Structure 1
Amino acid sequence: MGAKEFRSRTETPTSGTGLWNRQVGAFVRRYLREVVRDRTVLFWSLGFPTVFYLLTITTFIQMSQIPDELHAAVKATTALSYGVFGSVVVCLNAFGQQLVTDIEDERYTEFRSLPLSPSADFVGRLVAGLLFAFVAFLFVVAVSVATGAGYVLRGPESILVVALAFVLMAVVWMVIALLIVLTVGNARYANIISLSVALASYFGTGFNGTDVTSFAGSDWLLNALPNTLATRLMTYHLADIQEWEPAGLAPPDPPSSLAYLGLLAVYGVVFLGIGTVLTKKILYKE
Structure 2
Amino acid sequence: MADQSLTGSDTGLVGTRAGRRRWLGQAGAFARRHLRVTIRNKIAVALLIGYPVAWFVSTLWLFLDDPAAAAVTALGVGFGLFGALTATLAVFAGAFARDLQRDRYAKFRALPHAPSADLAGRFAAGTVVGSTSYLVTLAAAAAAGGTFNGWASPAVLGLVSLTLLSFCLIATSLAILIGAALPKPEYMTVLSIVAALIAFYLTGQNGMVPWMIVGDGQYVNWLPNSLATRLQVVGWVEASGEGTDFLTPPKAPSLVQHGGILIGEMVLLAGAAFGVVRSVAYGGD
TM-score in terms of structure 2 length: 0.89
Write the deviation string for residues 110-141 of structure 1: whole angstroms up to 9, x where unpaired. Answer: 10111121110011001001111101100011
Partner amino acid, structure 2, of 1:23: Q
Residue equivalent to 2:91: 94
Residue equivalent to 1:118: 115
Q: 2: CA distance between counterparts of 1:117 and 1:263? A: 29
Residue equivalent to 2:16: none
Q: 2: CA distance between counterparts of 1:10 and 1:35? A: 34
2:155 to 142, 154, 157: 157
- Is 1:76–2:73 an aligned residue pair? yes
Residue equivalent to 2:60: 57
Q: Does the C-alpha gap of structure 1 residues 191 and 60 become closer, same or farther in structure 2, counting only changes over 3 Å?
A: same
Q: CA deviation at 1:270?
A: 0.8
Taking only aligned residues, the RMSD between alpha carbons, in angstroms, comes to: 1.9
Q: 1: CA distance between counterparts of 2:126 and 2:48? A: 11
Q: CA deviation at 1:174?
A: 1.5
Question: Any residues of structure 2 matched to 1:263-278 within 5 Å, and which?
Answer: 263-278=261-276
Q: Does the C-alpha gap of structure 1 residues 241 and 60 become closer, same or farther in structure 2, counting only changes over 3 Å?
A: farther
Question: Any residues of structure 2 matched to 1:232-251 within 5 Å, and which?
Answer: 232-239=230-237, 240=240, 242-245=242-245, 247=246, 249-251=247-249
Q: 1: CA distance between counterparts of 2:192 and 2:116? A: 23
Q: CA deviation at 1:153?
A: 2.1
The structure 1 segments of at least 4 consecutive aligned residues displaced by more than 6 Å after TM superposition are none
Q: Does the C-alpha gap of structure 1 residues 40 and 18 become closer, same or farther in structure 2, counting only changes over 3 Å?
A: same
Partner amino acid, structure 1, of 2:71: V
1:30 to 25, 30, 33: 33
Q: CA deviation at 1:103?
A: 1.7
Partner amino acid, structure 2, of 1:250: T
Residue equivalent to 1:5: none
Question: Any residues of structure 2 matched to 1:77-226 within 5 Å, and which?
Answer: 77-153=74-150, 156-226=154-224
Q: 2: CA distance between counterparts of 1:111 and 1:241? A: 52
Answer yes or no: is the 8 Å Cα contact 2:70–2:242 preserved in 1.
no
Write the deviation string for residues 84-111 of structure 1: whole angstroms up to 9, x where unpaired. Answer: 0010012211111111222222211110
Q: Does the C-alpha gap of structure 1 residues 209 and 185 become closer, same or farther in structure 2, counting only changes over 3 Å?
A: same
Q: 2: CA distance between counterparts of 1:217 and 1:93? A: 30
Q: Does the C-alpha gap of structure 1 residues 254 and 197 become closer, same or farther in structure 2, counting only changes over 3 Å?
A: same
Q: 1: CA distance between counterparts of 2:32 and 2:2? A: 19
Question: 3-state SS of the aligned residue for 1:26?
Answer: helix
Q: 2: CA distance between counterparts of 1:181 and 1:217? A: 32
TM-score in terms of structure 1 length: 0.89
Answer yes or no: is the 8 Å Cα contact 1:244–1:253 preserved in 2.
no
Residue equivalent to 2:50: 47
Q: 2: CA distance between counterparts of 1:76 and 1:203? A: 18
**Identity percentage over the alignment?**
28
Question: 3-state SS of the aligned residue for 2:149?
Answer: coil
Answer yes or no: is the 8 Å Cα contact 2:48–2:133 preserved in 1.
yes
Question: 3-state SS of the aligned residue for 1:153?
Answer: helix
Question: 3-state SS of the aligned residue for 1:260?
Answer: helix
Structure 1 stretches lacking a partner, 5+ long = 1-8
Q: CA deviation at 1:230?
A: 0.4
Structure 1 range deviating more: 147-156 or 231-240: 147-156
Question: 3-state SS of the aligned residue for 2:225?
Answer: helix
Q: CA deviation at 1:225?
A: 0.9
Q: 1: CA distance between counterparts of 2:33 and 2:226? A: 31
Partner amino acid, structure 2, of 1:218: D
